[in-house]
Structure 1
Amino acid sequence: MTRGNRKESTDHEPGPRRRSTRQPAHRAGGHRQHRPGRAARRLLGSGRRRQGPGHHDDRSDCHGLAPGHHPPQDVAKLFEGASTCTLTPQTTQGPYYFDADKIRSDIREEREGVRLRLAVRVQDSETCRAIPNAVVEIWHCDAAGLYSGAETLSGGGARSGGGGGPGGGTPPSGAGVPPSRAPGGAPPSGAPGAGAGGGQGDLTPQDDNRYLRGAQVTDNQGIVQFTTIRPGWYRGRTVHIHAMVHVDNQRTLTTQMMMDEALDTAVFARQPYAGHTGRDTFNDGDGIYRPTMLLKVVRDDDGYLGVITLAADPDQDGK
C-alpha cells in the first residue's frame, strides 16, 4: 500500500502525524469511536515527551529479589532482535481497564515484587517505521493477582494487604476470552465497548488505588520505558501485562504481553509471590496467548528488563 498521505522521513524526527484521508474500517456504519482517556489526551495535545527512554526513576530497593546484581542492559541492542513488521494481535482489554490518568514511568507505588524495567517500541505495521508521539498505556495485576481500582472484583472479595496476601479470585466473565475475531485480525467494530478494546467496555473504578497503571509518550524512535514489578497471576489467565496504544487521538491497538514460563517459575518461588499458590493457567493453556506476545527478557541490575515491539495500524485497515 502506498501512503501518500503520510510524511516520510529518513531520520524519524518527531512531528505531527497526518490523518489518512481514507475512511477507517472501524468507522463504517457511523459507530462512535473510543476516545483516549485524559492522560492520553494531555500527552497527545502537549507535544512533550515525559520521562523517555533515557529516564527511568527506579528506586534502589530490590522489592523482594534475592541479592545479586547484573549490569544494566542496553535497550537499543535488545531491540535489534525484537523487530517486527507483522501487525500485533488485537486482544480484549479485559475487565479491569479504565483511564487512570497517570502520566509516569515508575508505576509501582510501593507494590512489592521483582523489579521489571519494561521497554516498548511502537512501529507502523505497514512501513516498519517508528511511530513517535504515540501514547502507550499499561496496566497489570500485583503479586497477589489484584488490580488497582478493582481489588474486590479481581480478588474475589479479598482486599489487598500490601501486595503479598492471597488474592486472584475468579475474574468476571470474559476476562480470559479472546475477542470475537482471532488475535491478529482487525478489531471488531461497534458502539463503545468494542473497537480496539476487543469487545469489553471500560471499568468504572471500584476503589481509589492506581498502582501498576501508567502512560508514556513514545520518543523519536517510538520507544517508551516503564518501571514496574513482574505481575502475579489470577485464575483462568496466564501471566500478562495489558497495553493500549493511542495514535492521533484514537485507540489504535489493544494487546497483551506475556512472560517466559521458566522465568515465571523462578520468580514465583520468591516472596511475595510464593504465598499465592494454586496457579491453574500457563501460556500453553491460555486462550489469548500467542508466541509473538512474549517479552524478550534479560537480567538487569537487581531485576529484569523486558522489551517488545508492537506493530500498530494507524489507518485501521487491518494490515
Structure 2
Amino acid sequence: MKRKDFLKKGALGMGIIVAVPTTVVHACSKDSDPKETELGMEECELSPSETTGPFPIKTPSDLMKANIVSDRTGVALLISINVLDLSDECKPLSGVYVDVWHCDGQGYYSEYGNNALQQSDFTNAHFLRGRQTTDTDGSASFISIFPGWYRGRAPHIHLEVLNAKGESIRITQIAFPKSVCDTVYATSSYKGEADTLNDRDNVFINSLDGNMADSLTGNTADGYTLVKTIVV
C-alpha cells in the first residue's frame, strides 16, 4: 500500500483524521517550542544508540502490524519512520524491519507486570507494540496513541531497526517536546504533567538533539503525526 493511502485509510480506520505535515517542525533544544525549517536541511548523522529499556518486545515477529493501538485509549498518533543507510550515502534503506514499542497513557507496558518496575499485570497483553518492513523509500508507519509517561523517564518511544535476517542494526529512542506533551497530558486519558524533563532524563541527557522527533504536528482532537528519520 502506498504511504499516502496508508495514512488516509489507517487514520480513518481509527475514526480520526491525522494531520500529515508538509514542513518539518524541529524540537531539538531541550524543552523549547519546535521551530519550522525546510525539509532536507538536516545533516545525515548516525542516530544515537540507546537501551531497549526494561520492557522490550518479546516476540516481535508475531507483531507484524501497522495498527498497534489494541484496546488502549488516548490521543491518536501516526508514527512515520524513515530509515537511511549511512554507509550508502544516506540513501533510504528498504526491506529492513522497524520495531516500535511504548507505554500507554497511564505509563503501562504490555507483556510485563507483577514486578517492582510495573506492578499492574499486562503479561498477556500486546498493545502498543509492532513491526513493519520499510518500503522502497525506507519508510514504515504505525497507527498508535500518544505515549504516556512513568516515574523517572521523560516521554519516549522505543525503536529498533533490524536487517532481513532479524539481526539488530540500531536501537534508539524518540523524545517529545514538552509543550506538546503538556497539551496532550491535560486530556482525560493521561495522568497530568510528566515528572521528568528531557534534559533531566538519563537516556536523553547527552543525546537529545539526535533523539528528538523531527516533526510533531496536529492537535488533541484530530491526532498528531510524528515524523522521525533514523540513520543506521
How big is the shift at 1:80? 2.4
Alignment of 1:140-151 (within 5 A): 140-151=102-113
C-alpha contact (below 8 Å) 1:119/1:305 kept by paired residues: yes
Q: CA, structure 1 residues 235+156, in 2 after alignment: closer, same or farther (shift >3 Å)? A: same
Match of 2:33 in 1: none
- What is the RMSD computed on CA atoms of the aligned residues? 2.3
Once the two structures are superposed, residues 170-222 of structure 1 have per-residue CA deviations (whole angstroms, 9 ceiling, x without a partner) of: xxxxxxxxxxxxxxxxxxxxxxxxxxxxxxxxxxxxx2100000000001110
C-alpha contact (below 8 Å) 2:155/2:194 kept by paired residues: no
Q: Which amino acid aligns with 2:20?
A: Q
Match of 2:93 in 1: 131
Once the two structures are superposed, residues 27-67 of structure 1 have per-residue CA deviations (whole angstroms, 9 ceiling, x without a partner) of: xxxxxxxxxxxxxxxxxxxxxxxx562314233435xxxxx
Does 2:226 align with 1:264?
no
Q: Which amino acid aligns with 2:59?
A: D
Q: TM-score, normalised by structure 1?
A: 0.60
How big is the shift at 1:154? 7.5
C-alpha contact (below 8 Å) 2:96/2:161 kept by paired residues: yes
Does 2:203 align with 1:284?
no
Does 2:14 align with 1:55?
no
C-alpha contact (below 8 Å) 2:185/2:193 kept by paired residues: no
Match of 1:302 in 2: 222
Partner Cα separation in structure 2 for residue 143 and residue 105 of structure 1: 19
Q: CA, structure 1 residues 52+245, in 2 after alignment: closer, same or farther (shift >3 Å)? A: farther
Q: CA, structure 1 residues 139+238, in 2 after alignment: closer, same or farther (shift >3 Å)? A: same
How big is the shift at 1:129? 0.6
How big is the shift at 1:297? 0.4
Match of 2:143 among 223, 227, 230: 227
Structure 1 residues without counterparts, runs of 5 or longer:
1-50, 63-68, 161-206, 313-319
How big is the shift at 1:82? 7.1
Q: TM-score, normalised by structure 2?
A: 0.80
Q: CA, structure 1 residues 153+55, in 2 after alignment: closer, same or farther (shift >3 Å)? A: farther
Match of 2:49 in 1: 90
Alignment of 1:224-263 (within 5 A): 224-249=140-165, 250-263=167-180
Partner Cα separation in structure 1 for residue 77 and residue 159 of structure 2: 15
More strand by share: 2
Match of 1:293 in 2: 211
How big is the shift at 1:236? 1.1
* Count of paired positions: 206
Give % identity: 29
Q: Which runs of 4+ in 1 moved over 6 A?
A: none
C-alpha contact (below 8 Å) 1:141/1:147 kept by paired residues: yes
C-alpha contact (below 8 Å) 1:240/1:259 kept by paired residues: yes
Q: Is the radius of gyration larger for structure 1 or structure 2? A: 1
Partner Cα separation in structure 2 for residue 74 and residue 266 of structure 1: 19
Structure 2 residues without counterparts, runs of 5 or longer:
25-37
Does 2:59 align with 1:99?
yes
Q: CA, structure 1 residues 264+251, in 2 after alignment: closer, same or farther (shift >3 Å)? A: same
